A = this chain, B = another copy of it.
Amino acid sequence: MDTVPHRELGLGGLFLEDLAVGMSAVVARTITEADIVMFCGVSGDTNPVHINEDYASATPFKGRIAHGMLTAGLISAVLGTRLPGPGAIYLSQNLKFKAPVRIGDTVLARATVTDIVAEKKRVTLHTACYVGDTMVVDGEAVVMVPRRPNASAV
Residues of A participating in the B interface, judged by any CB pair closer than 8 Å: 5-6, 9, 11, 27, 29, 35, 38-39, 41-50, 52, 55, 58-60, 67-70, 72-77, 80-81, 85-87, 89-97
Contact = CB atoms under 8 A, between A and B. Distances in A.
A6 B56 CA distance: 10
Given A43-B76, A44-B29, A45-B76, A97 B86 contact: no
Contacts of A80: 45-47, 49-50, 67
Nearest to A6: B55
Contacts of A86: 47-49, 55
Contacts of A55: 6, 9, 11, 86
